[in-house]
Structure 1
């Protein structure tokens, strides 16, 4: 995205927050039982259980095996931002609030995909770093 034009960056940033929009489109084309909704929190909490759920959903072997799940973006380097500054995070939370609320409402509808996690975990901002300027 770094080399993308301004309009491309805007499009990409908007798409990342439109889960509800895409999920509604998928529900037009697929039955709810053909869609599996997962959260990042599930992945963090128990990646092996999540793998088991995905395999079961796909009709694959659900034997709980110890499989290494590749972690990305774990490298530490000078200049890496671990948590966005408070001002940036506040703008992001405010900007995505309505989209997130629409997603949560959709996931509570009777026509929503079946999920083990009800209600779906709501976004909780990570701790932010106050600007030092």
Structure 2
């Protein structure tokens, strides 16, 4: 690989489909519409799952769309040159958009629009483990040689999209806005029905009981694992190896199977230092 990361404004990004010139244009020139529905997450926080849910809410549970159109075309990533072009060329609904961008690089137009954003937060220990397996087995960015190495990178913010702590602190400043909904991955897993109902209320969408059942059925972990369109079908094999699935485990608490006691202590100390001042109830993982 010619380079480990694409760097912009001091933040490392994947080397595929992203360039500094494009990131600058997205921040300064991309105009978001009031009807846009935007999924924003730090990577490995349930992004694809939320997109699946939003796609199925749009179709009232009918799975034909999610089984025939890849995730990245249903809800394109704005920081990706391919995704941005898809958004520009789109002539009709649905207005679904995705991003992992930190708040300071997000399109300026969002902050004066009525576009609705859903931000998903996940236990950063699980984010770390999921990220380790994803970045290690794909060719999108610098590969860690070991979990121990990736653990240090993560605490330092030397991973794609930078520091989890900075990303979350930035977007949590928007949590009281009417057009922003913050969801917890852990709560989504614990009670997906309530999660879908909450999303529908936020978006002003109404589903019949049977339609809601279909949304839940077709966005389940097993359904997504079996759905080729939900597992990066359009990415070349030299970037994402054949057989790789974005749906690895889909569980909470997997970090307990990987962290040493010393790592747990080091992570907690870093977390307390970095997230000081934010309400503890925002981070109820268990």
TM-score over 0.5 for the alignment? yes
Query: What is the root-mean-square deviation of aligned Cα atoms in Å?
Result: 3.5
8 Å CA contact retained: 1:20, 1:102 = no
TM-score by length of 2: 0.30
For 1:70, the equivalent position in structure 2 comes to: 220
Separation (CA, whole Å) in 1 of partners of 2:262 and 2:201? 42
> Alignment length, in residue pairs?
103
The answer (yes or no) to whether the contact 1:53–1:62 under 8 Å persists in 2 is: no
Deviations 1:55-114 (A, max 9, x none): 210111244422233333228xxxx98342221121111111133333327xxxxxxxxx
Deviation track 1:15-59 (CA, whole Å, cap 9, x = no partner) reads 3223122332x47xxx71111112223112201110110121011
Write out aligned runs for 1:1-133 (5 A). 1-2=135-136, 3-4=141-142, 10-12=158-160, 14-18=162-166, 19-24=168-173, 26=174, 32-64=177-209, 65-66=212-213, 67-68=216-217, 69-71=219-221, 72-74=247-249, 82-104=257-279, 119-123=281-285
Q: Which has the higher strand share?
A: 2
CA distance in 1, matches of 2:263, 2:197: 36
Unaligned runs of 5+ in 1: 106-118, 125-133
Match of 2:106 in 1: none
Distance in 1, Cα, partners of 2:272 & 2:194: 29
Q: CA deviation at 1:123?
A: 4.5
Larger relative contact order (CA 8 Å, sep ≥ 6):
1
| 8 Å contact kept, 1:17–1:96 | yes
Q: What TM-score do the two structures reach when normalised by structure 1?
A: 0.56
User: Aligned in 2, Cα 1:41/1:21: closer, same or farther, shift over 3 Å?
Assistant: same
User: Which moved further from structure 2: 33-42 or 63-72?
Assistant: 63-72
